Structure 1
Amino acid sequence: MIEKQGRAYMFLLENILYKNILHIDKMEIPANQITCIVGESGAGKSTLLKLLNSMLSADSGSIYYQDKNLEDVDPVHHRRRVVMLAQQPTIFEGTIRENLNIGLVFSEKKPKEDHELIKAMAVVHLNKNLDEDAGTLSGGEKQRLALARVYLMEPEVYLLDEPTAALDEETEEVVIGNFIKKVKEKDQSLIMITHSQKIATKYGDYMITLEKRVV
């Protein structure tokens, strides 16, 4: 961990340039906190998450995770520790059970028992039969299925890109509230892009506001 003025930071970004999208002189993201990223469309919020996940590489500058430069870290190994969920999650052919376990397969972890899968679905307020075809789910149900999938992977850090954008406000608050409660219980870290100022204010321990770059 990077210690700054008595506070532990898990990510440190310095002099980051990425195309004409992001220009970050310095950014510190604390460990074991709920960090919410807000800002207008086109400000680079999703790009920032992809940089933190090593899905993209900055044109210049350095990104450190737990004081190691990501340029020196195997990106596959990093993505198993820092798991990202895109705004439009991938749903694979097969059952809900198979979709929940596939993240564990990719991470070379043992699949979970059915009772554990059901508990994960309960966290995201998804009441479905594990044998049901995942392709038949609605957009909001698919988002929650994908959120349960990354929850089961138990990473050090969750990177969530508007994970409940397809849900109504009431359901969104229940799902986010449940998920964050579990993250805090396990002393994990969560970095989340949200369109909801209400969610960011209520649940965020730390907030990052990105502004669209003027060129």
Structure 2
Amino acid sequence: MLELKNVSYHVDKRDIINNISLKIEQGETIAIVGPSGSGKSTLMRLINNLISPTEGEIYLNGKPYEQISPETLRMKISYLLQESDLFDRTIGENLAFPAEVRNEKFDRKRAKYLLKTVGLGHYNFNTRVDHLSGGERQRITIARQLMYKPQMLLLDEATSALDKQNSEKIEKLIFNMAKEGVSILWITHSNEQSSRHFKKRIKIVEGRIEQEDDLS
């Protein structure tokens, strides 16, 4: 589904990503591990087309990124960051935003399902997000990101602000999406988390793939 061919990313003569080749199949679940500053987040930004490779090519469904509009790419590849990124308005307005961008009707039924699934079903759409805790805001961010099912979901330490119970709720939701064919690429610093659910674990050190483990 997605392929990186000899992808590098250099800044000021420094190699952030160095000659990475990687294939990700539909429904595949991959944990990305490695020390801080090793290039993991930069790899995600390349895959999400927020930055372009200095060298090499990235393909989605056999088509090079240069031939796909950024808007189309970001609807197919969804990127969930570590920090919550909400508008300081209501839960409903935040969850409706992806539909607004697409000029489509807000799916209230899916929004209610997602709120309940992330453990926030006791709130309603009129609740203001500035009244929520950091962990609750993060769960609303995750619910908003999942209002539409992408082909691939990128997660960068997405549950690091959550306690174990809520983290496991989010994992269950996301890995159920993998069963529906969504590919998952998840940066985690938790050895326990990287050993659960995933079919593969990739270790990145100094911009290179140092190790690949088959966990299936």
Q: Same fold (TM over 0.5)?
A: yes
Judged with a 3 Å threshold, the aligned counterparts in structure 2 of structure 1 residues 123 and 179 are, in CA distance, closer, same or farther, namely farther
Distance 2:117 2:174 in 1: 6
Give the counterpart of 2:74 among 48, 73, 79: 79
Specify which of 174, 188, 194 is matched with residue 194 of structure 1. 188
Superimposed CA distance per residue, residues 169-207 of structure 1 (whole angstroms, 9 cap, x where no aligned partner)? 2321232123312x0342222211112121111111122
- Looking at structure 2, the residues matched to 61 and 97 of structure 1 have their Cα atoms a distance apart, in angstroms, of 41
For structure 1, the residue ranges without an aligned partner over 5 or more in a row are 1-9
Corresponding residue SS for 2:146: helix
**SS in structure 2 of the partner of residue 28 of structure 1:** strand
Q: Is residue 174 from structure 1 mapped to residue 169 from structure 2 by the alignment?
A: yes
CA contact (8 A) 2:178 2:184 kept: no
Q: Secondary structure at 1:76's aligned position in 2?
A: helix
Identity of aligned residues (%): 31
Residue matched to 1:12:
3
Structure 1: distance between partners of 2:85 and 2:58: 27
Aligned match for 2:49, one of 26, 46, 54: 54
Secondary structure class of the residue paired with 1:17 = strand
Separation (CA, whole Å) in 1 of partners of 2:194 and 2:34: 11
Equivalent position of 2:120 in the other structure: 126
Q: Distance in 1 between matches of 2:104 and 2:194?
A: 32
2:107 corresponds to 1:116: no
For the residues of structure 1 that align with 2:173 and 2:67, how far apart are their CA atoms? 35
- Tell me what 2:198 maps to: 204
CA deviations over 1:28-58 (Å, ceiling 9, x no partner): 2222111211111111111111111111101
Contact 1:13 1:24 in 2 (8 A): no
Q: CA deviation at 1:147?
A: 0.6
Alpha-carbon spacing, 1:45–1:174, altered in 2? closer, same or farther (3 Å): same
Conserved in 2, the CA contact under 8 Å of 1:88 and 1:143? yes
Native 8 Å contact 1:86 1:163 kept in 2: yes
1:106 is matched with 101
The runs of at least 4 aligned residues of structure 1 exceeding 6 Å deviation read none
TM superposition score normalised by structure 2: 0.87
Paired positions, count: 203
Q: RMSD across aligned C-alpha pairs, in angstroms?
A: 1.7
In the TM superposition, what whole-angstrom CA distance separates every residue of 1:84-123 from its partner, at most 9, and x where no partner exists? 111113101310011111122223332112x321111122
- Whole-Å separation in 2 of the counterparts to 1:45 and 1:179: 20
- Partner Cα distance (1:18, 1:35) in 2: 21
Query: Corresponding residue for 1:3?
Result: none
Q: Displacement, 1:213?
A: 4.4
Residues 141-172 of structure 1: CA deviation (Å, up to 9, x unaligned): 11110111111121121111111110122321
Instruction: Please state whether the residue corresponding to 1:16 is helix, strand or coil.
Output: strand
Output the amino acid matched with 1:73.
Answer: I
1:157 and 1:105 mapped to 2: Cα distance? 21
CA contact (8 A) 1:125 1:175 kept: no
1:46-84, Cα deviation, whole Å (9 max, x unpaired): 111111111110111111111111122111111011111
Q: For residue 187 of structure 1, what is the amino acid of its counterpart?
A: G
